[in-house]
Amino acid sequence: MKTITKQQIRQAAQEAYDEVKGLSGGANANYIPYLANIDSNLFGLSVTLPDGYSINIGDTDYRFGIESVSKVPTALLVMKQSGAQTVLNKIGADATGLPFNSIFAILLENDHPSTPLVNAGAITACSMVTPVGDSNAKWQAIVDNITDLCGSAPQLIDELYKSESATNFNNRSIAWLLKNYNRIYDDPTMSLDLYTRQCSLGITSSQLAVMAATIANAGKNPVTGKQVFDADLMPKITSMIATVGFYEHTGDWLFSSGIPAKSGVGGGVVGVLPGVMGVAAFAPPLDKAGNSVKGQAAVKAFVTKLGLGVFNGQNVEIVE
Report residue 298 CA to chain centroid gap. 16
Q: How far is the CB of 210 from ligand GLN (least distance, A)?
A: 20
Q: How far is the CB of 3 from ligand GLN (least distance, A)?
A: 37
44 vs 290, beta carbon nearer ligand GLN? 290
Long-range contacts of 224-233 (CB under 8 A, 24+ apart): 224/148, 224/151, 226/148, 226/151, 228/145, 228/148, 228/149, 229/76, 229/79, 229/80, 230/80, 232/84, 233/76, 233/79, 233/80, 233/84
- In this structure, the strands spanning 277-282 and 316-319 are unpaired
29 vs 276, beta carbon nearer ligand GLN? 29
Q: How far is the CB of 198 from ligand GLN (least distance, A)?
A: 9
Residue nearest to ligand GLN (CB): 68
Q: How far is the CB of 138 from ligand GLN (least distance, A)?
A: 17
54 vs 243, beta carbon nearer ligand GLN? 243
Compute the distance between CA of residue 20 and CA of residue 211 in angstroms, rounded to an integer. 23
Q: What angle do CA 222, 291, 126 make, to 5 degrees?
A: 65
Binding residues (CB under 6 A) for ligand GLN: these are 67-68, 100-101, 119, 164, 171, 199, 264-265, 290
49 vs 117, beta carbon nearer ligand GLN? 117
Report residue 74 CA to chain centroid gap. 10
Compute the distance between CA of residue 75 and CA of residue 124 in angstroms, rounded to an integer. 10
68 vs 115, beta carbon nearer ligand GLN? 68
Q: How far is the CB of 98 from ligand GLN (least distance, A)?
A: 12
Element (H, E) at 25: none
